[in-house]
Amino acid sequence: MTEVFGTDNFNLLPHVAALLLAYVLALPIGWNREKEERSAGIRTFPLVAVASCGFLQASEGIIGDNPEATARVVEGLITGMGFIGGGAILKVKDSVKGTATAASLWVTGAIGLSVGLGAIDVAVMLTVLAFVTLSLLSPLKSVIVREPEPPRDDK
């Protein structure tokens, strides 16, 4: 038991700080999706970021300074995020819904991963870009998307 909780293996502060940062950075994205009444929202997005960060941090003990092992963990997380995002996409009649939520889940996983890897600057920029895209481009989308014109009779 002393091996598990020894001073070499039990340093909570850096992990708590990273997990809290991942959580906080994901909140604006989750808030936006919740406000828009999407399938994933204020609870899902912070959990995705924390899980991505946590998986990476939990594996630090076995991967050490091995870049190939780190790459395999990152690969697995990217694949898993794609799978979770795929669950948010729905085909309704002739349209596809949920692609922005799926992409938001994927970027939130990247935020957690970035924090876990210590790339805080990347995590912050991903958060800002995702939030700006979701918040500012939604009104623009409604201007661009028009009702389809009925087929013409060229007789």
> How far is the CA of 154 from the CAs of 30, 147, 149, in angstroms?
49, 20, 14
Quick check: helix, strand or coil at residue 92?
Answer: strand
Q: Say how far apart CA 152 and CA 23 lie, in whole Å.
A: 52
Residues with Cβ within 8 Å of residue 136, at least 6 apart in sequence:
none
- What per-residue confidence (pLDDT) applies to 119? 96
Q: pLDDT digits over 99-154, tens only? A: 888 899 999 999 999 999 999 999 999 999 999 998 888 777 777 766 566 666 66
Amino acid residing at 81: M
pLDDT digits (tens, 9 = 90+) for 60-70: 888 888 989 99
Contacts of 46 (CB under 8 A, 6+ apart): 22, 23, 24, 26, 27, 30
* Whole-number Å distance between alpha carbons of 87 and 101: 10
Cβ atoms of 56 and 116 within 8 Å: the answer is yes
**Look-up of token digits 């003990």:** 61
pLDDT of residue 147: 59
